[in-house]
């Protein structure tokens, strides 16, 4: 009989993740269950699940990508959350004025990193801040660009898992 040997040995869940997950699970059990309301989610054109497993055509890892179709503005979120919806999201929207109207923002993450660096976007703040004068350089967290339902880029502090957690496709480069 043939077996696939050489599968990696078991590894423990990282201790910080273990603690956080346990707290989350116990908290979830303490909440009263809500009646689930399913709503149809509109899907941006071009969304698909693409495997990210080297060169193999293997669809076992979930990552969804979608192109940013509206590059006239970028939404820089101050936290990895869609709280507030479209009108009262936590962060700021950036657009670049050019001589002929708004200029396309090709690098959403770069644009938002400037906003973080200049203190315009502050972690967790619901609104934008005015940059201090003289400018003070602030730390920039790791940022990831997701594609929002309206086709613009939403840039969140986080990593490659953030978009999936928010139910958004990652912005396709």
Partner 1 sequence: MVVSSPPNVPPSDAALWARASVDPCAFGDLYDRHADAVYTHCFRRTASWSVAEDLTSVVFLEAWRKRADVKLTTDSILPWLLAVANNTIRNQDRSLRRHRRLLAKLPIEPQGADLAEDVAGRLDDAQVMRDVLSVFSELTQDEQDILALCVWAGVSYADAALALGVPIGTVRSRLSRARQHLRRLLDRKVSEEGSTSSAGASASHHPLFLRKEI
Contact map string, positions 33 to 52, toward partner 1, x by CB under 8 A: --------x-------x--x
Residue 146 touches partner 1, criterion: CB under 8 A? no
Residue 29 touches partner 1, criterion: CB under 8 A? yes
Q: Which residue, 71 or 157, has its beta carbon nearer to partner 1?
A: 157
Stretch of 59-67, 94-102, 118-126, 129-137 contacting partner 1, by CB under 8 A: 59-67
Which of 173, 148, 172 is closest to 89 using CA atoms? 148
Count the residues in the chain. Answer: 173
Residue 58 touches partner 1, criterion: CB under 8 A? yes
Sheet holding 48-49, edge to edge: 48-49, 64-67, 170-172, 143-147, 153-157, 74-77, 91-94
Per-residue tokens: 76:
């820089």
The residue within the footprint of partner 1, chosen from 53, 96, 123, 136 (CB under 8 A), is: 53
Per-residue tokens: 163:
């978009």
- CB 140, CB 113: distance < 8 Å: yes
Q: What is the DSSP string of 40-60?
A: PPP--TT-EE---STTS----
Site for partner 1 in 5-24 (CB under 8 A): 5-8, 10-18, 20-22, 24
> Which residues have a Cβ under 8 Å from the Cβ of 32 and sit 6 or more positions away?
none
Please give the Cα distance from 15 to 18 (Å, whole number): 5
The residue within the footprint of partner 1, chosen from 45, 50, 62, 96 (CB under 8 A), is: 62
The residue within the footprint of partner 1, chosen from 54, 85, 99, 101 (CB under 8 A), is: 54
Report the interface residues with partner 1, using CB under 8 A: 1-8, 10-18, 20-22, 24-30, 41, 49, 52-54, 56, 58-62, 64, 80-81, 158-162, 164-167
């Amino acid at each position: 009989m043939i077996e696939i040997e050489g599968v990696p040995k078991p590894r423990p869940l990282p201790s910080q993740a273990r603690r956080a997950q346990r707290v989350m699970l116990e908290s979830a059990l303490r909440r009263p269950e809500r009646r689930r309301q399913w709503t149809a989610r509109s899907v941006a054109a071009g969304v698909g699940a693409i495997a990210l497993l080297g060169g193999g055509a293997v669809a076992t890892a979930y990552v969804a990508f979608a192109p940013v179709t509206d590059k006239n503005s970028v939404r820089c979120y101050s936290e990895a959350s869609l709280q507030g919806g479209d009108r009262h999201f936590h962060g700021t929207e950036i657009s670049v004025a050019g001589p002929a109207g708004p200029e396309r923002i090709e690098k959403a993450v770069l644009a938002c990193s400037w906003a973080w660096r200049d203190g315009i976007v502050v972690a967790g703040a619901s609104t934008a801040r005015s940059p201090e004068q003289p400018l003070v350089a602030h730390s920039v967290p790791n940022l990831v660009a997701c594609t929002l339902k309206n086709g613009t880029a939403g840039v969140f502090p986080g990593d490659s898992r953030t978009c999936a957690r928010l139910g958004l496709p990652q912005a396709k480069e």
